[in-house]
Amino acid sequence: MLRRLAVATLDANWEHDHTVPSRTLYPHQWSWDSAFVAVGLAHVRPERAWRELESLFRAQWADGRVPHIVFNPRLPVGAYFPGPEFWASERAADAPAALTSAIVQPPVHALAAWLAYLRVPSDAAHAALRRLYPRLVAQQRYLATRRDVGGGGLACVVHPWESGLDNSPAWDKPMAVVPADAAVMRAYRRHDTAHAPAAHRPTDLDYARYVAIVASYRDAAYRDDDLAGRHPFLVECPLFNAAAGVAEHALARIAPLVGADPGPHRERAARITDALVRRLYDPATRTFQPRDLRTGRLLPARTVLGLAPLILPDLPAPQVEAVVAEARSARFGLAARMDRPLPSHDRTAPDFEPLRYWRGPSWMNINWLVRRGLLTHGRADLAAGLARSMVGLVAGAGCHEYFHPDTGAGLGSPAFGWTAALLLDLLA
């Protein structure tokens, strides 16, 4: 029954060579959504899993960046804000022919490709892996070189949208100093608030700042040189970098299958884990915190981003212990028996908002990542408790985009791609 709902949701969101996150809110192709969707498609439509990933990587830029949105040119102007005319990515020397945004999202694609291959290791899957491997390597190279703005071995994100957790309280401090005025948004038409209640979405002031950060990057033709000297938002995010580390681990598994050397991937994976612990682990709070490169300081909000490094198989034992303790605390409520999955923000914090997007609601993709981390580190009891709560959530509310962290009510889009896909993975 549940499985049927998930497959029907993915089928309904399928659009010639990719899956839209939502027909209403997000009618184009999103980068990390496609990776999560491929994990689920591998269980039911393996051929589509590869088409999903390959269509995304066809829009990869010459410098290796994988854009966070690939726009469907068949949709009318105004189908989503900000659309291709706002991004004007053709101003960049490295942009592809496809209409795309110019920023990235967490690199969970190599992991997705590896899991899809493990699920159905057919000749077609092998051929797709061969085609994808050099592109996945280029994606990692872009992040490790052009985006190592802090010089410490971590990639920095240049926009909250790149983190995937757009309005997380993690970004409140660096966002507060981005010059912008909510009135700017009168010049644009927001598309999201036509499809979801404004109280469940980022504010107009958030959007004014999102727009200002893109404008700054766009004015520099989306170049990455001298970002430290001119760009208004520069942070090192624990989830983003944990994804980059896991990507190297996945590439180390893929490499021998495509005739490449896994050694350099293993070395890079170890360097990323080391840099994460060195730069983003806070011994005082015993969790991972993002670093604001404009101030050099760790950001104080205790969000679910801090739990993400658990997905790294080589995370040292003291940090594994600390992150599991943080997840089990009253802030997140992880337990072998738990009613609801982890919220996106510390539920004891005064700025916890159970309805507003990434400021409290529970999300399937983040919970799925944490569950993988728990399994990786031998915490099958906690992983099972978390998985049961995730399945219960979707059984109660359907394939929603996000969920009220207490009542489990569905929020955002009602037929959401990654919720359906990751549910399939949990049910397998």
Beta strands 29-30 and 69-70 are antiparallel
Q: Which is nearer to ligand 2M8, 240 or 288 (CB)?
A: 240
Q: Which of 14, 19, 26, 422 binds ligand 2M8 (CB under 6 A)?
A: 26
Site string for ligand 2M8, 44-73 (x = CB under 6 A): ------------------------x-----
By CB under 6 A, how many residues form the interface with ligand 2M8?
Answer: 10
* Contact between 307 and 251 (Cβ < 8 Å): no
Write down the least CB distance from residue 414 to ligand 2M8, Å.
13
For residue 41, what are its two tokens?
A: 């498609």
Q: Which is nearer to ligand 2M8, 33 or 353 (CB)?
A: 33
Note whether 240 binds ligand 2M8 by CB under 6 A.
no
Q: Which is nearer to ligand 2M8, 164 or 290 (CB)?
A: 164
Note whether 166 binds ligand 2M8 by CB under 6 A.
yes
User: Cα 189–195–199 angle (5° rounding)?
Assistant: 90
Q: Which is nearer to ligand 2M8, 60 or 101 (CB)?
A: 101
Annotated catalytic residue: which of 33, 166, 248, 292? 166
Write down the least CB distance from residue 20 to ligand 2M8, Å.
9
Q: Which is nearer to ligand 2M8, 227 or 364 (CB)?
A: 364
Q: Which is nearer to ligand 2M8, 80 or 114 (CB)?
A: 80
Using the contact rule CB under 6 A, the part of the chain among 11-19, 29-37, 42-50, 253-261 near ligand 2M8 is 29-37
Distance between CA atoms of residues 239 and 258, nearest Å: 28
Site string for ligand 2M8, 337-366 (x = CB under 6 A): ------------------------------
Query: Cα torsion for 271, 276, 277, 281, to the nearest 10°?
Result: 170
CA nearest to 313, candidates 246, 221, 217, 385: 246
Is residue 166 flagged as an active site residue? yes
Q: Which is nearer to ligand 2M8, 175 or 320 (CB)?
A: 175
Q: Which of 13, 14, 33, 38 binds ligand 2M8 (CB under 6 A)?
A: 33
Write down the least CB distance from residue 224 to ligand 2M8, Å.
19
State the DSSP string of 62-118. Answer: TTS---SEE--TTSPTTSSSS-HHHH-GGGSTT--SS-B-S------HHHHHHHHHH
Using the contact rule CB under 6 A, the part of the chain among 27-35, 44-52, 172-180, 249-257 near ligand 2M8 is 27-35
Q: Is residue 342 helix, strand or coil?
A: coil
Q: Which is nearer to ligand 2M8, 102 or 315 (CB)?
A: 102
Q: Which residue has the tokens 């092998």?
A: 126
Distance between CA atoms of residues 347 and 330, nearest Å: 7
Contacts of 362 (CB under 8 A, 6+ apart): 340, 341, 342, 343, 344, 393, 402, 403, 404, 405
For residue 109, what are its two tokens?
A: 């694609």
Note whether 161 binds ligand 2M8 by CB under 6 A.
yes
Measuring CA to CA, how many Å separate 405 from each of 262, 270, 287, 335, 389?
A: 41, 35, 21, 15, 11
Q: Which is nearer to ligand 2M8, 68 or 200 (CB)?
A: 68
Using the contact rule CB under 6 A, the part of the chain among 137-145, 161-169, 247-255, 271-279 near ligand 2M8 is 161-169
Q: Which of 164, 174, 354, 361 binds ligand 2M8 (CB under 6 A)?
A: 164
Note whether 192 binds ligand 2M8 by CB under 6 A.
yes
Note whether 87 binds ligand 2M8 by CB under 6 A.
no
Note whether 117 binds ligand 2M8 by CB under 6 A.
no
* Contact between 205 and 180 (Cβ < 8 Å): yes
Q: Is residue 359 helix, strand or coil?
A: helix
Note whether 133 binds ligand 2M8 by CB under 6 A.
no
Would you say how long the chain is, in residues? 428
Annotated catalytic residue: which of 236, 248, 292, 401? 401
Using the contact rule CB under 6 A, the part of the chain among 30-38, 42-50, 108-116, 282-290 near ligand 2M8 is 30-38
Q: Is residue 391 helix, strand or coil?
A: helix
CA nearest to 199, candidates 234, 239, 151, 167: 167
| Residue 24 φ then ψ, to 5° | -95, -60
Distance between CA atoms of residues 360 and 363, nearest Å: 9
> Residues interacting with ligand 2M8, by CB under 6 A?
21, 26, 30, 32-33, 68, 161, 164, 166, 192
- Which residues are catalytically annotated? 166, 401
